[in-house]
Amino acid sequence: LAQLPSPAGQDCQLCQRCLFPARSVSFTSLYNLLRARLCPYFYVCAPQFSVLFRAAGLAGSAVPTAAIAPTTRGLRDAMRGDGIEFSLPLLEESRSRKRKKGEILEEEPTPSDDDEDGSFSWLEEMGVQDKVKKPDTISIQMRKEKHEVQVDHRPESLVLVRGSNTFTLLNFLISCRSLVAAAGPQAGLPPTLLSPVAFRGGTMQTLKARTVSGRARAQGGFEDVFSLEVLGPVLPHALHALTMVLGPAQRGSFRALLSPHEPSAAFNARPAPAQVSSEDVQQDLPACGLHPKTLDQLQQCPTLGKSSIRLLEMKDYTYTWKA
């Protein structure tokens, strides 16, 4: 886990000049570890959006993936301008669902190149070309982008990048101005990188934990109850590790209340149709330092969509949960 220090006083600009080269080194180090299957995933936490890079074999994808949420049309246009191919899985899923329910009766026609050039020969044939106001290029473009703009800052704006495009995305992020806060205590500083493995420029951080004990009413009287509060960025593998510890320690019964980071809930969307077997995952990520059962969970396709688990409960060693 890496969290860059905050500059103080007159050394602010000097710190920024030192940190930005380090950002490039850390980015590249993490990505190389990901491609070598020595790092299962890592997060890039910026003021406006977050990025989740996943190694091949995770979340049901046979190639590396990167998910970005939330996004805006400006960011997506900038990515297209750099030649990054991506999809909007949640938006596409929503449209597909509406089509199946018959909510979309007809698709909005896409203006052709002839329309954009102002060619309306069929109007001339009817002799009414002077009575009809022709749409200008800006109006046509606004109509084409209407639905895409409506998803800005929403979970449906989740962007998914696959395969070799993740490397192009890495270079894009290194030079992306949106990754740097313009105001506030982190103004001018590079984004925070979170990873379950060590990387160049990273620093080890521990989560804050405290325990509380008390008595609660139960059948026949009162019983002792104990709670464990964990504060900080709890990564997916850490949550799974906690459940493996609490299960036997609490004799198969415990309850966990989770406080998810809402913008990152969209990362639970299904990333790709391609599937890999459990054996492939174990062979591809043997040295990443995660427990085999944790890897088994991470390699499965997400099923929560744009939701996240808020309550996880175990009774008699059987899990139930609520999103």
Residues 6+ apart with CB under 8 A from 305: 90, 93, 268, 269, 270
Which pLDDT score is estimated for 175?
Answer: 84
HSE of 41 in the Cβ direction (CA atoms, 13 Å)? Answer: 22
Residues 6+ apart with CB under 8 A from 188: 7, 12, 16, 180, 181
Which pLDDT score is estimated for 195?
Answer: 93
Which pLDDT score is estimated for 16?
Answer: 54
Which pLDDT score is estimated for 30?
Answer: 93
Is the separation of the CB atoms in 271 and 65 below 8 Å?
yes
First CA to last CA across the chain, in angstroms? 27
HSE of 168 in the Cβ direction (CA atoms, 13 Å)? Answer: 14
Q: At 318, phi and psi to the nearest 5?
A: -120, 130
Burial class (CB in 10 A: 0-12, 13-18, 19+), 229: exposed
According to DSSP, the β-strands at 192-194 and 41-45 are antiparallel
Residues 6+ apart with CB under 8 A from 224: 213, 214, 215
Q: At what angle do helices 73-81 and 137-150 cross, to 10 degrees?
A: 110
As given in the structure block, the two tokens for residue 108 are: 């909005």
Is the separation of the CB atoms in 91 and 163 below 8 Å?
no
Instruction: Give the distance from CA 13 to its chain's centroid.
Output: 31
Angle value at C-alpha 74, between 82 and 153, nearest 5 degrees? 125
Residues 6+ apart with CB under 8 A from 193: 1, 2, 26, 27, 30, 42, 43, 44, 45, 199, 202
Residue pLDDT tens, the chain, 323 long = 444 444 444 454 555 555 566 778 899 999 999 998 899 999 999 888 999 999 998 888 889 999 999 999 999 999 999 999 999 988 887 777 777 766 554 444 444 444 444 445 555 555 555 555 555 555 655 555 555 667 888 888 999 999 999 999 999 998 887 777 777 777 777 788 999 998 998 888 888 988 888 887 877 788 888 888 998 899 999 999 999 999 999 889 999 999 888 888 889 887 655 444 444 444 467 668 888 888 888 888 888 888 889 999 999 999 999 98
Is the separation of the CB atoms in 47 and 186 below 8 Å?
yes
